[in-house]
Structure 1
Amino acid sequence: MFNRMMTSWFGVERMLERIEHHNHIGLIGIDLSEWKSGLLSELREESFNWTEWLMLSMGRGDIWFGDVVSNHLWVYAAMPDDLGEEESEHFLRGLAKRLREAMIAEAGMTSNESHHSSRFREKGIGYARLHSCSEGTARDIVYEGVLKATGQIRESMVEQNDWELRHELERLLSECSIKSVYQPIMRLGDGRVFGYEALTRCPEGSLFDGPLSLFQFAEKHNHAFALDRMAREKAIRHCPPLGEMQKIFINVTMGIINDPHFVSGQTVHWLSEQGLFPGQVVFELTERSSIDDFDAAKKILAHYRSQGYEIAIDDAGAGYSSLQSIVELSPDYIKVDRSLVRMADKDEMKKHMLRTFVRFAKKMNIRTVAEGIERPEELRLLRSMGFDFAQGYLLGRPQEYVPLEVATASKSGLPS
């Protein structure tokens, strides 16, 4: 869309026609990609009169249309002769902001976006003062201006997106609007439900495309402790009914375990409210952040193990750090990554790797969980290899509520 040249190259010919009457000219670029209706539908019309629209919307005749190229609107503006470099930048930025506001109003978006700060008004705008334009140098001068303005547009989009995500994260934290879903983990020996992994989900319509991007962004902006604490509380408070021997697997990082609020016993309080105890909780160490000091990590984990909590290493086989964590931390469970499980019945190398995990784990008295099982053939293979537990869409999808009769069922009807 907008990849056609609506005039000569960036409207240079029209700009040259006006040079005789204006000594100083600026170039303004506006990103059009966010408008998906309203004004955008008019822009698709070849007959759309940009010159007339600019005159009516801006109420001035010293701004004129240049071109629309690759989702960017380009206009030229006459500038006062007595402006210095810094004053010129201020003048053009002000014009660009007013032009964008006029376009927002035309698109009917004002009421929906009025809550945004002044930062939003500068999203997707760029500008450049054109120096000493003449017919011989016009293309080079305009090209330099386009490069500068495009860079500003790109930077403003990144900054605004970052601001919007921070605003979204703060909203999620203040409203406690993340939710937990639970995926069953089955015993391969008898088909019983052994427990559930608690998985965080963003609310519908969230700007984050999933929990991974949410947690990564929270860590980048120093909100990891608050988000993880909320996720842990949600996981426990909304946990399906558990039998005495059943477990809830909760994802944490070593960084979070260092959180003083974690040490204070808040988790035990939440468990007690639900009639649960630490022995029913498995802290699943994820690779969202690496472990730099394994000696310190061992001491921290020993503290939690002394209270009854168990430890699992997640995504085993997906990277070097998970294998190192297994060797250094001697977990209670190894959760083998889905990348090794997927189509393993047809891959001899994967079969060999899976057998190696099982043999090693049995020697070290570590229980194994195979993740990501989606096919009966994978399930039969892993059962024959001696895996203790299994998890995947074939056995049960994550869901917000698990009925009591499923959570405590004696038999799950596990596929053979």
Structure 2
Amino acid sequence: MTGQRPPEPILHLDMDAFYASVEALREPSLAGKPLLIGGTGGRGVVASASYEARVYGIRSAMPMASALRRCPHAIVRPPDFAAYTDVSHRLMELLRSVTPLVEPLSLDEAFLDVGGSVRLFGEPPRIAADLRERIADELQLPASVGVAPNKFLAKLCSEHAKPDGLKHLPVDGVTAFLAGLEVRELWGVGEKTTEQLHRYGLRTVGDIAATEPATLARIVGQAAGAHLSEIARGHDPRTVTPDEAAKGLSAEETFETDVDDPEILRTELLRLAEKVAQRLRGGGVAGRTVTLKLRFANFQTLTRSRTLPTPTDQATVLHREATALLEAQRLERVRVRLVGLGVGNLVDGGAAQQLDLLESDRWETLEHAADDARARFGDTAVTRGALLARDPRAGPGPDEGWPTRDDTRGG
């Protein structure tokens, strides 16, 4: 083993149907059955679907009602983000035992640069195989891995390796591999871009690679054309960025029926503030920017933000600021379909100091005591009195939590 940097140093690891797989591990009777994770209300969506459910054409982000029409006998479970986060922490620790260059993309997905690990662990395909074996042994979960020269190609390979597989793309095989793929498999190519390319007879990645960049620019625009020209040839200059700090945490709720009562919205914001604050404290971070998100009955979405003088991880502060943003909109009984609360500009939790130290200490003590009680006795052990009479129109919250992505593209 020379220890020189290998030509295919990048791995993309993606857990298979992560939420559904975790639930089946917790409840073994669910294994091998069509299982859906998500909300069951009228506006609930599928957060994750087992592969037994996918044979019916069910995919993530599909309305739950549509999924159940396709597979009436599917089993539905609500998401448990605390459980998924716990497994994710163990997964990331396992990945970092191989290389410090781990870039998490979500709870169940990460890029790894193993170029400096070959002297200890062997060539990248060997490292990938060993990781999959360790994940199966230590977490009892399936994972798919792509091994390639860069991030774009590694992610493409992991998608082609699913489910529960490994695909290694050597440098000298990149052109042939890409040539026959459909254009929609290129990073950044959505439905509209695919239609545009098809109108000009460009249906495969090979077609894109054979087209002059100037021609692509005329079809999809200068920036998109240059991007397509590069990735169609397998070029991607991005590096693996380890431990990139989270940009923000959020939670949101889609109501069963549209809400036009400001009091209900304020109560729901309190529940969301509690949830986001718990996650901030659990992650050891605090945030300065509070964002309110509203989606109206006509699907128009409004976001408003406010930056605090000092960071916070307290639900009381988050609720106060979000409520102030809500009241500033003067909605006057406008029907609201979705409400969300987010926190950005995250810093280390030690910076969470309010100007009113006495008030801060009192609420900080209470909220940390509540965290301890929930950790010992479950999430429902402690709640605020204002939330006990929560409006029944609020759904089960399939959109709650960070991140919301599980397996949108076949994971």
TM-score where L is the length of structure 1:
0.25
More helix by share: 1
Structure of higher RCO (CA pairs closer than 8 Å, 6+ residues apart): 2
